[in-house]
Amino acid sequence: MPSPLAGSSEELAGRQVGQAAPSPVLPDGPRHPRIVQAWLWLKKPTWFLDHCSRAYGEVFTMRLPLGMNLVHIADPELVKAVFTGNSDVLRAGEANAAILEPLLGPHSVLILDGPEHLRQRKLILPAFHGDRMRAWEAAIRDITRAETARWPQGQPFALRPSMQSITLDVIMRVVFGVDGGARRDELRSHIVTVIGIGRNPFMLLATRNRKLGPHAPWARFIRARDALNAALAGQIRERRRAADLEQRSDILSQLLLARDDEGRPMTDDEVRDELVTLLFAGHETTATSLAWAFDLLLHHPRVLGRLQAELDGGGSEYLDATIMETLRVRPVVALVDRHVREATRIGGHTIPAGMVVCPNIYLTQRRGDLYQDPAAFRPERFVGQTPPGFGWFPFGGGIRRCLGAAFATFEMRTVIPEVLHAVTLRPASRRPARIRRESVTFVPHDGARCIVTRVGRS
């Protein structure tokens, strides 16, 4: 079968010799004015995606202001074609750089493409090796226990901020190797400031590089980012000199010890940019996935009961299935994007250069032909079953697949049982939370509110 993303470089460039060139035509999509589509995409993202998918099928174009066209793809065959396609033509770094570079820095693995991207990936990946992760388990448990001990009893509270606190402390400990004391508090406060300002990226971008005074969001962001970078630079210099560097299990120490194919270490600037990347790629995503897991579990008592019974018996199969099902039905990142550098054929469409192709996680993972009753939360579907090929990709795919996927899953496998052991929870509302967009992520609209009904298991 020909690849849905077939073509020589000339064909991909839309210049087939001796034949009529395939004229680049964007797939069909909603006809509303661009500004209206942008509003729907920002404010009613799941409604808009469901609507587009019903009206236009598994490939459609969303047209946004400033000539930005997003070609959404929700067909596993085409998703596979994008993930395994030519990464020089379908560039993820370029697609991410416009928004993320000021925060993550020029060396970030998320914004690089080509050989530089692969070099950073190869330097980072070994630090997340499975054996190393087991060394972090006790720390993750301790951090979770300390957090649950602070929860109020009998009063509704939002779980998501609590999960953010857990995952931030885990990153401080596991990624930065900072354990406690004034250094930890200083670093944490810089991070919290940057995250706070970054919560509204659209306001940030609107004031970017404009001279609007020292209190404008962009100016405050630059100050906060520079302060964080300075604190991290100090941490890196200090760690390079640490006598126990080789024995340490944290990611920062591993990055300092890493060598590329030519035997070169990472520079301090590279290490700093990757630390910031791991922090921002890994903290909110994992926290929100945990919040979704609890929101779903608490609203599905039968699932929760089965999970607790399994955990009491020392098993973990249903726990794994619960995590997979949470990431399927509530993906925190709804889509990934690839910037199209040259006209490219995808399925029956020739996508012009300059467009953004988006394998759509949310829509693909809700296909009725892949998952029976796709909107329902049913971990059973993954018990003893592997997910359909390219029908489950909450961590993206190909050479850009999430570097922290195993770590995020490990953290969820550790935090969920620890919380269920520490407290008995009930949901604060009758229905599961609605999906709301926050920046580029899908989050529970109410932060996943719940109530502690007793300390310990009932």
Nearer Cβ to ligand HEM (282/447)? 282
The amino acid at 319? L
Q: Say if residues 251 and 243 touch (Cβ distance below 8 Å).
A: no
Tell me which DSSP letter residue 207 carries: T
- Least Å distance, CB 406 to ligand HEM, is 9
- Least Å distance, CB 129 to ligand HEM, is 13
Tell me which DSSP letter residue 380 carries: G
- Least Å distance, CB 278 to ligand HEM, is 4
Nearer Cβ to ligand HEM (221/393)? 393
- Least Å distance, CB 212 to ligand HEM, is 32
- Least Å distance, CB 328 to ligand HEM, is 11
For 43, phi and psi rounded to 5 degrees? -95, -30
Rounded to 10 degrees, the C-alpha dihedral 6/9/15/21 comes to 0
- Least Å distance, CB 207 to ligand HEM, is 27
Rounded distance, CA 445 to CA 436, Å? 5
Nearer Cβ to ligand HEM (415/451)? 415
Binding site for ligand HEM (CB under 6 A): 92, 109-110, 121, 277-278, 281-282, 285-286, 289, 332-333, 336, 394-397, 400-404, 407-408
Nearer Cβ to ligand HEM (194/336)? 336
Rounded distance, CA 356 to CA 42, Å? 17
| Sign, Cα dihedral of 165, 167, 168, 172 | positive
Three-state DSSP at 124 gives helix
The amino acid at 267? T
Rounded distance, CA 412 to CA 288, Å? 11
Nearer Cβ to ligand HEM (408/451)? 408
Picking from 189, 179, 186, 181, the residue whose alpha carbon sits closest to that of residue 249 is 179
- Least Å distance, CB 220 to ligand HEM, is 26
- Token output for 177: 């190797």
Nearer Cβ to ligand HEM (71/452)? 71
Nearer Cβ to ligand HEM (143/333)? 333
Three-state DSSP at 407 gives helix
Rounded distance, CA 187 to CA 165, Å? 14
